[in-house]
Amino acid sequence: MSSIRSKRALLAVTATALVLATTAACNASGSGGASGNAGGPAHKKVTLITGVKSDPFYITMGCAAKSEAKAKGIDLTVDGSAQWDVSVQRPLIDSVAASRPDGLMIAPVDTNALTPSLQQIQSSGTKLALVDTAVDDTSVGITRVSSDNEEGGRVAAKALAQEMGYKGSAIVISVKPGISTTDARIKGFTEEMAKHPGIKILPTLYDNDLPATAASQIQSTLAAHPDLGGVFAGNTNTGQGIATGLSQAGKQGKVKVAAFDAEPDEIASLKAGTVQVLVAQDPAAIGTQAVDQLAAAFSGQPVQKQIGTTMVAITKDNMNDPKVSKYFYKAGC
């Protein structure tokens, strides 16, 4: 999705005009920022808290957000959790609450547990943009930018069913319940796969975002269900674990795998034939669009409440197409 770029308005130099411009901006966009100069995005302080800071998905998002923020004169700081856990992300949110930046971009790791903290930050005047994941309370955030994860799950199911020859057992292995994105992927996948009566859907398993657990789970599933023909990995770490488990069991390529995301290790697995389908998101567009929406709010311009970004199915056949390979994630800026 192309980014929205706007020129910063030139502020009048008289004190009276500056007051008027500040008042107009605050009235047009809701509560004002907690610090920085009002009237436009320049010199505003924004923090991005990602889900897992070492994840190439979030690295790609952070790189794009930094680039867009620099173009708009925004001072952007990027941080993230060491792992996908409420107890790890909460201290980062508390730190933001204490510093009171003008804006916060965040991928909350739970749909409800962090809502009170985010409400408190928002009520203090910091403008919130939810990126990738979201919370159930729709009053949190001036904008929400993410992929259509339900549709992504359906795309994965269609591709996996075809790879399986429309027969056998299939299973979903994901992170944990209560994550907006992966919950939506599972919903889309199971609803679409149910349209194929020749495929039996096994109960979903959760690995707590640990590849070693996913590897063990896929091996146990193989032992209990010899007809296992396909598996859907809810995220990157799960996909890595499944690939490892299938390789160790000698089932690489025999059990078909559809995985989310397009991180470097997953691209390598696609090339090696361990994974047959990758459903790539566009984390760069998510980061760019969130910065753009905060910049609009700082300038008193309209803000889009919900933005969906592109998703692309990547296979061994199309991965070398520049129109597809541009969705590969980065390990660094």
Residues 187 and 114 reside in one and the same domain = no
326 falls within a domain: no
Q: Are residues 29 and 130 in the same domain?
A: yes
- Does residue 107 sit in the same domain as residue 170? no
Q: Does 154 lie in the same domain as 275?
A: yes
- In-domain check, residue 332: no
Which pLDDT score is estimated for 4? 31
Q: What is the pLDDT of residue 198?
A: 96
| Residue 198 falls inside a structural domain | yes
Amino acid 16: pLDDT: 32
pTM, 2 dp? 0.74
Domain region containing 132: 15-146+283-309
- Determine the pLDDT at residue 290: 98
Identify whether residues 94 and 142 lie together within a single domain. yes
- Decide: 109 and 86 in contact? Cβ < 8 Å: yes
Q: CB-based contacts of 152: which residues, under 8 Å, 6+ apart? A: 184, 185, 188, 260, 279, 281, 311
Q: 274 pLDDT band (50/70/90 cuts)?
A: confident
Query: Residue 5: pLDDT above 70?
Result: no
Residue 314 belongs to a domain: no
- State the chain's mean pLDDT as an integer: 87
Residue 253 domain-assigned (yes or no)? yes
What confidence tier does 314 reach under pLDDT thresholds 50, 70, 90? very high
Q: What is the pLDDT of residues 10-23, one digit of tens each?
A: 222 223 333 333 33
Do 142 and 288 belong together in one domain? yes
Predicted local distance difference test score (pLDDT) of residue 119:
96
Q: Average pLDDT of 86-106? A: 95
2 found inside a domain: no
Per-residue pLDDT tens digits for 193-240: 999 999 999 999 999 989 999 999 999 999 999 999 999 998 888 988
pLDDT score of 68 more than 80: yes
**320/21 Cα distance (integer angstroms):** 50
- d(CA 203, CA 172) in angstroms, rounded, equals 7
Cα–Cα dist 38/36, whole Å: 6
Q: 160-202, pLDDT tens digit by residue? A: 999 999 999 999 999 999 888 889 999 999 999 999 999 999 9
Residues 19 and 142 in one domain: yes
| Confidence at residue 135, expressed as pLDDT on a 0 to 100 scale | 93
Q: In this model, does residue 35 exceed pLDDT 80?
A: no
CB atoms within 10 A of CB 82: 11
- Identify whether residues 252 and 201 lie together within a single domain: yes
pLDDT digits (tens, 9 = 90+) for 102-140: 999 999 999 899 999 999 999 999 999 999 999 999 999
Tell me the CATH number at 20: 3.40.50.2300
The Cα–Cα gap between 89 and 82 comes to 8
If one counts the domains in the chain, the total is 2
Whether residue 330 is contained in a domain is answered as no
pLDDT of 9 higher than 70:
no
